[in-house]
Amino acid sequence: MSAGKIVLVLVGLLAFGLIAVGLWAGGIYNRLVTLQQSTDAAWAQVENVYQRRTDLIPNLVNTVSGAANFERTTLTEVVDARASVGRAQIPAGAAPTDPQKLAEFEQAQARLGGALSRLLVVVEKYPELRATAAFRDLQAQLEGTENRISVERGRFNEAVQAYNTAIRQFPAAILAGMFGHTVRPYFKATAGSDRPPAVNFDFGKKTATPAP
């Protein structure tokens, strides 16, 4: 074989190798982008359901504040907690990458959830308020929203787990950093986080205490 043909063969093999590497890297890149988009979409759903709860607060406050002698301190706590949620928002457009920002967001949402629960306990003293159609409508909406929060948080964690696993596995781990992919934080499990907070307006019935 002449020297010219050898050079052509080598050039061909090199070109084939470069194409193969390019296809391999492109496949990894596309998979990581798909998983990243899944986490962003799951996060958008989390934001939607939390925003839905936040949007219900003014209606709830307006409804209960109409009751005579309703405890103003409890209402103020709910309003302040709702404001703290607004201050802890994560920039829109993508799932959070900063664990501290997600923790601040989660703490603000937990504060709002706690204030809301305490408000509903106070409502026990106002049977005439609980009998109104407006309050019953809020009951249904809040129950549905709390359930959706639990579901969407779980789906978000599943999406983040798939993404974080992918960028740590070989061979994607070799290129993940070059493509700008880094580990994303989860919602952290807390006591009772495996079930949505109870939104119980039927205060005439006793709620069973869960087993330890």
Chunked into runs of 10 residues, the chain (212 residues) has average pLDDT values of 71 74 79 94 94 92 79 88 90 86 93 89 84 84 90 96 93 85 84 45 41 40
Q: Is residue 87 part of a domain?
A: yes
Separation CA 151–CA 145 (nearest Å)? 10
Residue 43 tokens, joined: 């996060």
The whole-model pTM stands at 0.78
Residue type at 159? A
Q: Is residue 196 part of a domain?
A: no
Q: What is the Rg, in whole angstroms, of the alpha carbon atoms belonging to the chain?
A: 26
Q: Is residue 67 part of a domain?
A: yes
Q: Is residue 30 part of a domain?
A: yes
Q: Is residue 56 part of a domain?
A: yes
For 211, phi and psi rounded to 5 degrees? -70, 145
Q: Is residue 34 part of a domain?
A: yes
CA-CA distances (angstroms) from residue 127 to 42, 76, 139, 202? 39, 21, 14, 10
Separation CA 107–CA 12 (nearest Å)? 59
Q: Is residue 61 part of a domain?
A: yes
- The whole domain housing 25 covers 3-176
Q: Is residue 187 part of a domain?
A: no
What is residue 189's predicted lDDT score, i.e. its pLDDT? 62
What is residue 1's predicted lDDT score, i.e. its pLDDT? 66
Count: domains in the chain:
1
What is residue 68's predicted lDDT score, i.e. its pLDDT? 65
What is residue 208's predicted lDDT score, i.e. its pLDDT? 42
Alpha helices, DSSP H only, in the chain? 3-65, 72-87, 99-122, 127-130, 133-168, 172-176
